[in-house]
Amino acid sequence: MAVTDLTATSAPRSGAPGVLRRTFRAPRARVGVAVLALVVLAAVLGPVLSRWDPFTSDVTAFGRPPTALHWFGTDSSGRDLYVRTLVGLRTSLAVGLVAGPLSTLIAAVVGAVGGYLGGRVDRVVVWGIDLALVLPSFYLLVLLAPTAGRAGWFAVALAIALLGWMVMARLVRAQARSLRRRDFVTAARFLGVPTGAVLRRHVLPHLASLLVVDATLGVAATVLTEATLGWVGLGLGPPAVSLGTLLAAGSASAVTRPWLFWFPAGLLVVTVLATSLVGDALRDALDPTTGTAGE
Amino acid sequence: MLRFLVRRAAGYGVLATVATALGYVLASLTLHPAARYAGRTPPVPPSVVHAELAALGVDPGVPVPARLWHWLTELVTHGSLGLSVRGVPVTAEIAARAGTSLRLLLLGSLLGALLGVAVGTWGASRQYRWPDRVTTVGSFVLLATPPFVLAVVLMTLAVRLDSAAGRTLVPFTGEYTPGLAGGWPAQLGDRAAHLLLPTLCLALGTAATWSRYQRAAMLDVLAADHVRTARSMGHTRRSALWRHGVRVALIPMSTFFAYSFGLILTGAAITELAFSWHGMGEYLVRSVVDDDVNAAAGTVLFTAVLVLLAGVLADVLHAALDPRVRT
């Protein structure tokens, strides 16, 4: 944001500290960040605190409700659900943290290139986005899921990212189109700055707020998508554990052994809720059209 | 207006065709029908495997473009989507399941959209007061809850209700009670009762998304000059809101409907699975588990057609609400 006319008009709102301060003025952001910190802490440290590991069976406790020994109970083969849930949470968070920002990156590149270059490239981009919107991405994801699931969590994240960028790309494209006509971009172009550099230095920084929000909300959406794939039975294969695979096993016994379902389900809802609260507060703080962050 | 719609519909048609072809190619590349024959006792001779796969049109020896061409010509000339691995025509299977899925989809999305628009408008017209806060928190919680978790919550509540009442008030497994006596009125009532929880499950999720967007669109409109003008010209607050607020706020929602339809379809598929309905969602998942290329491609085609119809419907709504696009 080095160009004078823009920094002049947007000075009160530019800069990360101001954005963070405005974000945290909203109570929902404080709650969201606090809960999210707890969730991440639990995923990182939680399994270490227990004496069990996610794969070994306790032959003295098959399908037991929560006890002092097994904090979240055990599944039908005697594996400790507390450790399995938190290890599964690790996988789900990893998938979310990779796929959310990655799909934003794809959307940013595709949208900015199409919107900025215009002409034939733009028409191809728009057509590609429209095409991708005609096919519900979840249906294609279901086709890809078994292949990706065999390859591991990173492949699942990759598949989710590859099928989740289209709506954002449209927004980025529209913004890039209007930025193209702004004086500072024209100036840079006439000074002979290469196209790639114009995009990197002048176009994408102006979309930063949009992209940050999308990446945050993308994490939440990805965690949900992974869980849904796992629940359908097409996500990660055993022995890998994620919230999705745990829910797949747990939902069958949600009535007879409720702890197998409610612990992973509750953790999933809390994680997604906290992430989307943070994303929403960020959006309000970054969006110049929404008054004073609402409070 | 008609020319606008025809042009848009033609564009959608091209998109749907290409999308379906892509779906077929993707299914051909990721599914391995030959794997069904591996590890059987007694082992199936390779020649038999080859012949059976060739009969289905999914022989891995034939290049994918040639298989796609064969599939497309069969579709155009005979209206056939091929046989599934179980030997049933895919079109027959889709015809049997489409009603199940569409019933849920229509009721759920309609109810969800109406509820979402109502709640969003209500929240926006009382911004930052208690109705707004309650609906905002509610929609955030619902948005963080996947349909299959919501389904279990609803089923648990239904079980509580049933045990409190001492008899089954809300049946929720499958589409109907098998072998129910009492003729068609009883059966119709039974089907309606079975619809209750799945519809609610889909509608709540849809309403949560819609209410957020409707609230934002409505807030934009409420701040606009024309609503203030309407008030100053003597309209009551209610009349200004309805005639100049809601109608204008619904214009972006008609576009949003086209985009969110894919999400609704996904939600419906998951809801069907959660309530053990034999609909298109189950068909898709089973086709992937069975390595059934024709069934998967047929499902993708069915879905693309639905999305296309939703797109046309969104355009019609848009044209009806916004006179500027009718030229």
Token pair for residue A18?
A: 């101001």
Q: pLDDT tens digits, residue range B51-73?
A: 777 777 777 777 888 888 888 88
- Per the CB < 8 A criterion, the answer to whether B275 and B174 are in contact is yes
Q: How far lies B313's CA from each of A283, B5, B64, B255, in Å?
A: 31, 10, 34, 10
Partner residue facing A273 (CB), from B27, B140, B263? B140
Distance (Å, whole) CA B303 – CA B297: 10
Whether the pLDDT of residue B188 is over 50: the answer is: yes
Of the candidates A10, A60, A19, the residue with the CA atom closest to the CA atom of residue A212: A19
Q: Which residues of A fall within a CB distance of 8 Å from B15?
A: 130-131, 134
Q: How far is A161 from chain B (nearest CA, A)?
A: 16
Partner residue facing A228 (CB), from B27, B31, B270? B270
Which helix (H) or strand (E) covers residue B8, if one does? helix B2-30
Type of residue at B119 = V
Q: Determine, for residues A143 and B307 on separate chains, whether the beta-carbon distance falls below 8 Å.
A: no
In sequence order, what E strands does B70-161 have?
A: none
Whether the pLDDT of residue A103 is over 90: the answer is: yes
Type of residue at B210 = W
Q: Classify B282 as helix, strand or coil.
A: helix
Interface test with B, best of A127, A129, A131, A142 (most B CBs within 10 A): A142
- Per the CB < 8 A criterion, the answer to whether A171 and A111 are in contact is yes
Q: pLDDT tens digits, residue range B32-50?
A: 887 777 777 777 777 777 7
Q: Which residue has the tokens 């009670």?
A: B177
Q: How confident is the model at residue A8 (pLDDT cuts 50, 70, 90)?
A: very low
For residue A15, what pLDDT is reported? 54
For residue A94, what pLDDT is reported? 92
Q: Which residue has the tokens 């008009």?
A: A9
Q: pLDDT tens digits, residue range B223-275?
A: 788 888 888 888 887 788 877 778 788 887 887 887 788 888 889 999 998 88
Of the candidates A129, A54, A136, A58, the residue with the CA atom closest to the CA atom of residue A90: A54
Whether the pLDDT of residue B29 is over 80: the answer is: yes
Q: Which residue has the tokens 């607020």?
A: B245
Q: Which residues of B fall within a CB distance of 8 Å from A268?
A: 146, 149
Q: How confident is the model at residue A4 (pLDDT cuts 50, 70, 90)?
A: very low
Cβ-Cβ contacts under 8 Å between A and B: the total is 115
Query: How much of chain A, in percent, has pLDDT values that exceed 90?
Result: 14
Of the candidates B253, B248, B247, B183, the residue with the CA atom closest to the CA atom of residue B213: B253
Q: Determine, for residues B140 and A231 on separate chains, whether the beta-carbon distance falls below 8 Å.
A: no
Whether the pLDDT of residue A141 is over 70: the answer is: yes
Distance (Å, whole) CA B147 – CA A265: 11
Q: pLDDT tens digits, residue range A217-229?
A: 889 999 999 999 9
Token pair for residue B12?
A: 């959608």
Q: Which residue has the tokens 């519909």?
A: B9
Query: How much of chain B, in percent, has pLDDT values that exceed 70?
Result: 98
Q: pLDDT tens digits, residue range A185-201?
A: 888 888 988 888 888 88
CB neighbour list of residue B263: distance below 8 Å, 6 or more residues apart: A136, B209
φ, ψ of residue A80 to 5 degrees: the values are -70, 120
Q: Which residue has the tokens 């045990």?
A: B163
φ, ψ of residue A74 to 5 degrees: the values are -130, 160
DSSP string, B181-240: -SHHHHHHHHHHHHHHHHHHHHHHHHHHHHHHHHHHHHHHHHTSHHHHHHHHTT--HHHH
Q: pLDDT tens digits, residue range B77-109?
A: 887 788 887 878 888 889 888 888 888 888 998
Type of residue at A130 = D
Distance (Å, whole) CA A213 – CA B291: 38
For residue A289, what pLDDT is reported? 55
Q: Determine, for residues A138 and B262 on separate chains, whether the beta-carbon distance falls below 8 Å.
A: yes
- Residue A72 per-residue DSSP state: T
Whether the pLDDT of residue A6 is over 60: the answer is: no
Q: Determine, for residues B149 and A276 on separate chains, whether the beta-carbon distance falls below 8 Å.
A: no
Partner residue facing B146 (CB), from A228, A261, A270? A228
Distance (Å, whole) CA B211 – CA B234: 29
- Per the CB < 8 A criterion, the answer to whether B19 and A134 are in contact is yes
The model's pTM is 0.84
Q: pLDDT tens digits, residue range A76-102?
A: 777 778 888 888 898 999 999 999 999
Interface test with B, best of A129, A134, A140 (most B CBs within 10 A): A134
For residue A53, what pLDDT is reported? 76
Crossing angle of the two packed helices A243-251 and B147-165, in degrees rounded to 10: 30
